[in-house]
Amino acid sequence: MRVDPNVKQRVESLIVDSAMYIDRDELDAWIDCFEPDARYIVLPRENRLLDLPVGIIHCENRARLEDRIVCLRHANKYNPHFDRHIVSLPRILAVAGGVASVETNFMVVQTDKTGESRLFCAGVYEDRIRLDGDDAKFVERIAVIDTFTVPTLMATPV
Amino acid sequence: MNRGEPTWERNDYSKVPYRLYHDPEIYRLEQERVFRGPAWTVLGLEAEIPRPGDYRIAFAGDLPIVFNRGNDGRINAFVNRCAHRGAEIVREPYGNVKDFTCIYHSWCYSPGGDLIGVPFMRGVKGKGGMPADFRMQDNGLRKLRVESFNGLIFGTFRDDTEPLEQYLGALLVENVGEILGRPIRLLGYQRQRIHANWKMYLENVRDAYHASLLHEFNRTFGLSRLTQTSGGYMDDRHRHAMLFQYKGSDSEEAARKTYTDGQVQRGDYMTLKDESLVAAIRENRTGVSTRIISIFPNAVVHQIANCLGLRRVRTRGPGELEIEFVLFGYQDDDAAMTAHRIYQANMVGPAGLISMEDGEALERVQRATSPDPSGAGIIEMGGKGPLLNLDTRVNEIPVRGFWSYYSELMGLEPDGAQR
């Protein structure tokens, strides 16, 4: 479909910025990419195929996402690592009512503290993005992961 | 393993030789004596194969098993290996079929595992074909004996494995029976692959001591604290175990003081914006809020607040295991309860707020013990000697129970072994 270049630019910025915030461990900035009522779900592809609702991470609103990040910062212990998100160009499927529906492929390469890198996760972001003035924020992000047998653990969101 | 020295330094299993996690010969023997031995391996839930023709792949150790519901409604299980040349027959992890046909030479099997079709068995135009003495009825798949307890399906390769309910014992019959006592509804799968020996995970789920130390989330939100009414119980043979907890049976202040005095509290407790993550809506007779029920050799049934699930463990060589979490609720749950259970599934699985740490802890043990597997770990919390049920989680005795039954099956029991 033909997309207004301005919409395209705002969608691309949100997707690239949000990925970079995770890689830079700026999770507060990452959370600011979401509307208060936004859902964030990491969904195994097998559950999508079976029409089953459980996610690896499943937050129905931003407050719940904030709770997960607080736990990550203060309670959880996990494998020390760096993340590197590689995202494709977004494919804008529709824009209606100020909300863009977008699909973007992604890979996350994880590097441990000895400098060894491995592909951690491959999948597709299924996003609904609210466009408001110059602003763009997620109202829904479902990261459908092909790599649903998760190596070791998933602490940082993808 | 028998290289002139006994495996066990003590007859109560309170010192575990690291070699048991790493020796490839031990791993090979485990597949034969534990997973194909006189034990019941958990295959799955009847709810995973509700319709005739439904099948799913499970694992007995590292051996792929197809369990399915036949057209007559009966549950069957067989090894996923064609009788002809040994090819994998089923290639999708789950599905629905009328019969099972190998892609290699199209040999066809019934859901029960009987050979029902061999293309060109009598040759073509009078030439070729199988010899006259080849009988299809002698060439079926390798079948498992299958039994089901409240919808939980077990399989065994042996005719002499004891009756299932006797194998489970009263503790599991009561508690697994209660959790699976109503028709369930599947909510989804989570999978985690950990680079550690499979037994470390089966120890971990019997280790009452680590729950509030490694998993700070448990301690912080009062899901599991050593100050609560809690304990670790086993069946009479001590092969299975149940760790349990009553949320709300201690006070925040007492808990904080205990952990601060114990030098494990790192600062103030945090708070959640949405407390429903840790809210236990009472739905059982006693009000128990956490039950981690280990079923020897390969499974766990858990209740953590209102998060219910089965965990299947697959072995992948001495240094790798896979956990498959199967989350469920009940068919008569209303929409709010279903949503609550889906939310509480955040606590388990590879990103679980009280389970992700296990992946990290087990890999640390694997890495540190593998380069020089001499030496032994200490399992003395809760005391040495007899295998006892204790009403406390400052307790690792169920881990010794695991080793006791494991050693019996493996033929590794020391003289005067505790059972």
Q: What is the pLDDT of residues B262-310, one digit of tens each?
A: 878 655 667 899 999 999 999 999 999 999 999 999 999 999 999 999 9
Q: Give how many domains chain A has, as a whole number.
A: 1
Are residues A75 and B353, on separate chains, in Cβ contact within 8 Å?
A: yes
Are residues B188 and A77, on separate chains, in Cβ contact within 8 Å?
A: no
Q: What is the pLDDT confidence band of residue B3, given thresholds at 50, 70 and 90?
A: low
Are residues A150 and B357, on separate chains, in Cβ contact within 8 Å?
A: no
Which residues in chain B have their CB less than 8 angstroms from residue A60's CB?
A: 339, 343
pLDDT of residue B202: 98
Integer Cα distance of A102 and A126 in angstroms: 6
Q: What is the pLDDT of residues A109-143, one digit of tens each?
A: 999 999 999 999 999 999 999 999 889 999 999 99
Has residue B235 been placed in a domain?
Answer: yes
The phi, psi pair for B45, rounded to 5°, reads -110, 145
The answer on B314 and B251 residing in a single domain is: yes
DSSP string computed for chain A: ----HHHHHHHHHHHHHHHHHHHTT-HHHHHTTEEEEEEEEEEEHHHHHHT----SEEESSHHHHHHHHHHHHHT-----EEEEEEEPPPEEEEEETTEEEEEEEEEEEEEETTS-EEEEEEEEEEEEEEEETTEEEEEEEEEEES--EEES---S--
Q: What is the pLDDT of residues B78-103, one digit of tens each?
A: 999 999 999 999 999 999 999 999 99
Domain region containing A110? 5-145
The answer to whether residue A144 neighbours chain B at the CB level (below 8 Å) is: no
pLDDT of residue B416: 95
Has residue A45 been placed in a domain?
Answer: yes
Q: For a pLDDT cut of 90, what percent of chain B falls above it?
A: 88
Has residue A155 been placed in a domain?
Answer: no
Task: Flag whether pLDDT at B4 surpasses 60.
Answer: no
Has residue B406 been placed in a domain?
Answer: yes
The answer to whether residue A149 neighbours chain B at the CB level (below 8 Å) is: yes
How many residues in total does chain B contain? 419
Which residues in chain B have their CB less than 8 angstroms from residue A151's CB?
A: 193
The answer on B201 and B296 residing in a single domain is: yes
pLDDT of residue B5: 63
Which long-range CB contacts under 8 A does A17-20 form with residues at least 24 apart?
A: A18/A138, A19/A85, A19/A87, A19/A106, A20/A85
The answer to whether residue A57 neighbours chain B at the CB level (below 8 Å) is: yes
Which residues in chain A have their CB less than 8 angstroms from residue B191's CB?
A: 44, 148-150
CA B291 to chain centre: 14
Which residues in chain A have their CB less than 8 angstroms from residue B195's CB?
A: 152
Residue of B nearest to A68 (CA): B353
The answer to whether residue B274 neighbours chain A at the CB level (below 8 Å) is: yes
The answer on B247 and B318 residing in a single domain is: yes
Q: Which ipTM score applies to this complex?
A: 0.97
pLDDT of residue B6: 72
Has residue A151 been placed in a domain?
Answer: no
The answer on B400 and B282 residing in a single domain is: yes
The answer to whether residue A49 neighbours chain B at the CB level (below 8 Å) is: no
CATH number of the domain where residue B339 is located: 3.90.380.10
* CA of B241 vs chain A CAs: smallest distance (Å): 25
| B20: DSSP letter | H
pLDDT of residue A17: 98
CATH number of the domain where residue B68 is located: 2.102.10.10
* CA of B179 vs chain A CAs: smallest distance (Å): 19
pLDDT of residue B268: 65
Task: Flag whether pLDDT at B332 surpasses 80.
Answer: yes
Q: Which tokens is B16 given?
A: 């575990």
Q: What is the pLDDT confidence band of residue B219, given thresholds at 50, 70 and 90?
A: confident
Has residue A152 been placed in a domain?
Answer: no
CATH number of the domain where residue A88 is located: 3.10.450.50
Q: Give how many domains chain B has, as a whole number.
A: 2
The answer to whether residue A74 neighbours chain B at the CB level (below 8 Å) is: yes
The answer on B211 and B133 residing in a single domain is: no
Has residue A158 been placed in a domain?
Answer: no
Which residues in chain B have their CB less than 8 angstroms from residue A154's CB?
A: 350-351, 356
Are residues B342 and A53, on separate chains, in Cβ contact within 8 Å?
A: yes
pLDDT of residue B80: 98
The answer to whether residue A54 neighbours chain B at the CB level (below 8 Å) is: yes
The answer to whether residue A67 neighbours chain B at the CB level (below 8 Å) is: yes
User: Which of B189, B216, B338 lies nearest to residue A44, judging by beta carbons?
Assistant: B189
Which residues in chain B have their CB less than 8 angstroms from residue A76's CB?
A: 216-217, 353, 356-357
- DSSP-H helix ranges across B87-183: 164-179
Place of tokens 């896979």: B322
With beta carbons less than 8 A apart as the criterion, state whether B378 and B384 touch.
no
The helix (run of H) or strand (run of E) holding residue B45 is strand B41-45
pLDDT of residue A136: 97
The answer on B274 and B345 residing in a single domain is: yes
Q: What is the pLDDT of residues B385-407, one digit of tens each?
A: 999 999 999 999 999 999 999 99
Task: Flag whether pLDDT at B377 surpasses 70.
Answer: yes
Q: What is the pLDDT of residues B71-80, one digit of tens each?
A: 999 999 999 9
Establish, for the pair of chains A and B, how many residue pairs have beta carbons separated by less than 8 Å: 121
Has residue B12 been placed in a domain?
Answer: no
CA atoms within a 13 Å half-sphere pointing along the CA-CB vector of A47: 30
Has residue B170 been placed in a domain?
Answer: no
The answer on B202 and B139 residing in a single domain is: no
For chain A, the average pLDDT equals 96
Has residue A153 been placed in a domain?
Answer: no
- Enter the pTM of the model: 0.96
Q: What is the pLDDT confidence band of residue A56, given thresholds at 50, 70 and 90?
A: very high
The answer to whether residue B353 neighbours chain A at the CB level (below 8 Å) is: yes
Which A positions 2-41 lie with beta carbon below 8 A of chain B?
none
Residue of A nearest to B48 (CA): A50
The answer on B240 and B118 residing in a single domain is: no
pLDDT of residue B267: 59
Domain region containing B252? 183-410
The answer on B206 and B78 residing in a single domain is: no
3-state secondary structure of B324: strand
pLDDT of residue B72: 93
Which residues in chain B have their CB less than 8 angstroms from residue A46's CB?
A: 93, 189
The answer to whether residue A46 neighbours chain B at the CB level (below 8 Å) is: yes
Q: What is the pLDDT of residues B31-67, one digit of tens each?
A: 999 999 999 999 999 999 999 999 999 999 999 999 9
The answer to whether residue A152 neighbours chain B at the CB level (below 8 Å) is: yes
The answer on B299 and B187 residing in a single domain is: yes
The answer on B107 and B207 residing in a single domain is: no
| B346: DSSP letter | G
Has residue B114 been placed in a domain?
Answer: yes
Has residue A157 been placed in a domain?
Answer: no
Query: Which residues contact residue B127 at a Cβ distance below 8 angstroms, ignoring those fewer than 6 apart?
Result: none
Are residues B188 and A52, on separate chains, in Cβ contact within 8 Å?
A: yes
Has residue B273 been placed in a domain?
Answer: yes
Residue type, B256: R
Q: What is the pLDDT of residues B115-166, one digit of tens each?
A: 999 999 999 999 999 999 999 999 999 999 999 999 999 999 999 999 999 9
The answer on B92 and B225 residing in a single domain is: no
The helix (run of H) or strand (run of E) holding residue B184 is strand B184-194
